[in-house]
Amino acid sequence: MAELARGALDKMATRLDAPVQYALRLGEAQVPVNPLIGRPLRLEYLGAIHCSHCGRKTAKSFGQGYCYPCFKKLPQCDSCIVSPEKCHHALGTCRDPAWGERFCMTEHVVYLANSSGVKVGITRASQVPTRWLDQGACQALPILRVATRQQSGLVEDLLRSQVADRTNWRALLKGEAAPVDLSGVREQLFETCGEGLEALQARFGVQAIQPLADAEPLEIRYPVEAYPEKIVSLDLDKTPVVEGTLQGIKGQYLIFDVGVINIRKYTAYQLAVSA
């Protein structure tokens, strides 16, 4: 095998195409992954993790790529990132108000996606369609445009009383999800949760929460030659060398003939990649 690159791993770069195009990011290097499908591929963890924010060496990665001090102080690691409806920017207690203005007090999209079944999710408007590709959604549909992250979280909280808000990663990697009429699900949600949406509009203003009634679903195809019959999760912390024939890529997962690995989980790990 020949080494292709080494450096600090980041989540794979994606580009919407038919199929989705992927590249491994290691420091400044980018390695296109689609051409490697069907070939032997080796990932070697070099035994070091450097915080993706401050560069400090850390024995363990917190919050996907941070050392513990950064994890405790950075706004992108605060609990409201996982639970956006709990955003406390307006209370003046944001860890970094300027960061909050750039990333949270901006336009967000509430969407439906079909990866392992229908789910509701939120993302910054600037992250469409990247968010869907990272989740391995084979169908996606934006259903509301919302003024802030907190407000999108409140909308998501309302809608998840009717629709799941999580992806079953094992089901995601066992095959393609059965097609769903996402437009029909949208209309059903608007009807079922209509009063709740109107209450949020009354609270924040009609312009803050706008239905996207005319949006069309996006169909997404991934470069997968074969799905595994049994899901085996590969762990670089336990086995620092992962080697096998690459059979496909979906979401942020590489699918080998020997198992699957979530690349995003190992953000900031020093890796060498050979093929």
> Model confidence at 159, in pLDDT bands (50, 70, 90)?
very high
What sign results for the dihedral spanned by CA atoms 66, 71, 75, 79? Answer: positive
Query: What is the spatial distance between Cα 93 and Cα 109, in angstroms, rounded to a whole number?
Result: 25
DSSP states of 130-165: HHHHHHT-SEEEEEEEESSHHHHHHHHHHHTTTSB-
186-226 pLDDT, tens digit each? 999 999 999 999 999 999 999 999 999 999 999 999 999 99
Contact 37, 254 (CB under 8 A): no
Query: What is the spatial distance between Cα 37 and Cα 180, in angstroms, rounded to a whole number?
Result: 28
Average model confidence (pLDDT) across the chain: 97
| Statement to judge: residues 214 and 227 lie in one domain | no
| Statement to judge: residues 205 and 233 lie in one domain | no
| Statement to judge: residues 209 and 227 lie in one domain | no
Sequence-distant (≥ 6) Cβ neighbours of residue 214 within 8 angstroms: none
**What percent of the chain has a predicted confidence (pLDDT) above 90?**
100
Query: What is the spatial distance between Cα 81 and Cα 113, in angstroms, rounded to a whole number?
Result: 20
| Statement to judge: residues 182 and 125 lie in one domain | yes
Q: What pLDDT, on a 0 to 100 scale, did the predictor assign at position 145? A: 98
| Statement to judge: residues 256 and 215 lie in one domain | no
Per DSSP, helices labelled H in the chain are 68-73, 79-82, 97-103, 130-135, 149-159, 169-172, 182-192, 194-204
| Statement to judge: residues 117 and 210 lie in one domain | yes
| Statement to judge: residues 199 and 267 lie in one domain | no
| Statement to judge: residues 136 and 155 lie in one domain | yes
Q: Is residue 79 part of a domain?
A: no
> Model confidence at 80, in pLDDT bands (50, 70, 90)?
very high
Q: What pLDDT, on a 0 to 100 scale, did the predictor assign at position 33? A: 98
The number of distinct structural domains making up the chain is 2
**Residue 78: exposed, middle, or buried by beta-carbon count in 10 A (0-12, 13-18, 19+)?**
buried
Query: What is the spatial distance between Cα 164 and Cα 177, in angstroms, rounded to a whole number?
Result: 15
> Model confidence at 12, in pLDDT bands (50, 70, 90)?
very high
168-188 pLDDT, tens digit each? 999 999 999 999 999 999 999
Q: Name the nearest CA neighbour of 49 among 33, 67, 32.
A: 67
Name the residue range of residue 138's domain.
107-219
**pTM for this one?**
0.95
Q: Which of 199, 219, 239 is the last residue of a domain?
A: 219
Q: Facing residues of 259 across strands?
A: 256
What sign results for the dihedral spanned by CA atoms 274, 130, 68, 27? Answer: positive
Mean pLDDT of 57-71: 96
Radius of gyration of the chain (CA): 20
DSSP helix/strand/coil, 23: strand
| Statement to judge: residues 135 and 205 lie in one domain | yes
Q: Is residue 236 part of a domain?
A: yes
230-275 pLDDT, tens digit each? 999 999 999 999 999 999 999 999 999 999 999 999 999 999 999 9
| Statement to judge: residues 31 and 111 lie in one domain | no
**Residue 213: exposed, middle, or buried by beta-carbon count in 10 A (0-12, 13-18, 19+)?**
exposed
Q: Facing residues of 50 across strands?
A: 57
Q: Is residue 157 part of a domain?
A: yes
91-148 pLDDT, tens digit each? 999 999 999 999 999 999 999 999 999 999 999 999 999 999 999 999 999 999 999 9
Mean pLDDT of 20-41: 98
Q: Which of 184, 200, 219 is the last residue of a domain?
A: 219
| Amino acid at residue number 223 | P
Q: What pLDDT, on a 0 to 100 scale, did the predictor assign at position 272? A: 98
Q: Is residue 138 part of a domain?
A: yes
> Model confidence at 25, in pLDDT bands (50, 70, 90)?
very high
